[in-house]
Structure formats: structure tokens, C-alpha cells
């Protein structure tokens, strides 16, 4: 079985990587009940993409990363894949999805606000 290729948006180091929503359907377009499965998605270097089931009975999942998780990533391109673990009977399925993801450095650097609100100028 060859994993389906998926192009993910780049991850910007030190920034939130907003959730990528994935809906799972059978060959007839019906949502798959994911109650008996656990999702796993990670880059080849072992970094998790935090795969979660967000709406189990309608086949909705998501992957995301928080600021502290992206802060230490090394710049570059990485292969990633998605694996399902069946709960009962316990089975690990081969990758269903795979692709390449890029870690970039943002051009803008934001200073910590230390709890203070930013000050915006009055605009005309």
C-alpha cells in the first residue's frame, strides 16, 4: 500500500502551526467512525505533529503544533507520515498519508509583551 501524498503548509519556527483538518471517508464518501483507532503523525526526525481525533464519529482529525514545539525545530525539509493504530484487535497499520513539510524562519521577530497589551498608533 502506497501512502496518499499530502502537501502540508510550512511550519514557522517559534510560531503556532494552526490546525490542519483532515476528514476521513470511505470509498463511497461516508465518514469513517474512528472510535477504534488512534492517530499518529510525525516527521522522520521523531517530531510529533500532534495528531488528534476531533470528531470521532464523523471521521474528523487534526494535526497542529504550539509555539514551544516549533521553537526548537531545525530549519529544513522533512518527510512525515500518518499511521493508524487499531485498538481492538491491536494492530499498527502502514502509513496512510505521507509527504514533505518545510520548517522556515519567520522574517518578523516579535518581542515578548510580558503581559502588557501592545500599543497601536491612532490611525487616520
Residue 39 within a domain: yes
What pLDDT was estimated at residue 120?
A: 56
Residue 116 within a domain: no
Domain count, the chain: 1
Domain that residue 39 falls in: 4-100
Report how many helices (DSSP H) and strands (DSSP E) the chain contains, helices first: 1, 9
How far apart (Å, rounded) are the C-alpha atoms in residues 83 and 97?
8
Residue 24 within a domain: yes
Q: What is the pTM of this model?
A: 0.84
Residue 106 within a domain: no
Residue 121 within a domain: no
Residue 28 within a domain: yes
Closest by CA to 41, choosing from 32, 31, 52, is 52
Give the CATH number for residue 63: 2.60.40
Start-to-end CA distance of the chain, whole Å, equals: 60
What band does 117 get if pLDDT is binned at 50, 70 and 90? low
1-47 tens-digit pLDDT: 899 999 999 999 999 999 999 999 999 999 999 999 999 999 999 99
What pLDDT was estimated at residue 107?
A: 86
Residue 124 within a domain: no
Residue 41 within a domain: yes
Amino acid at each position: 500500500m502506497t501512502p496518499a501524498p499530502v502537501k502540508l503548509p510550512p511550519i514557522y519556527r517559534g510560531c503556532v502551526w494552526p490546525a490542519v483538518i483532515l476528514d476521513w471517508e470511505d470509498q463511497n464518501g461516508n465518514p469513517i467512525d474512528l472510535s477504534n483507532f488512534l492517530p499518529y503523525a510525525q516527521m522522520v526526525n521523531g517530531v510529533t505533529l500532534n495528531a488528534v481525533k476531533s470528531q470521532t464519529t464523523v471521521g474528523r482529525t487534526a494535526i497542529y503544533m504550539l509555539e514551544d514545539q516549533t521553537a526548537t525545530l531545525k530549519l529544513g525539509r522533512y518527510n512525515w507520515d500518518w499511521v493508524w493504530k487499531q485498538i481492538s484487535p491491536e494492530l499498527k497499520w502502514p502509513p496512510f498519508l505521507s509527504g514533505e513539510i518545510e520548517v522556515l524562519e519567520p522574517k518578523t521577530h516579535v518581542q515578548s509583551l510580558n503581559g502588557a497589551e501592545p500599543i497601536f498608533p491612532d490611525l487616520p
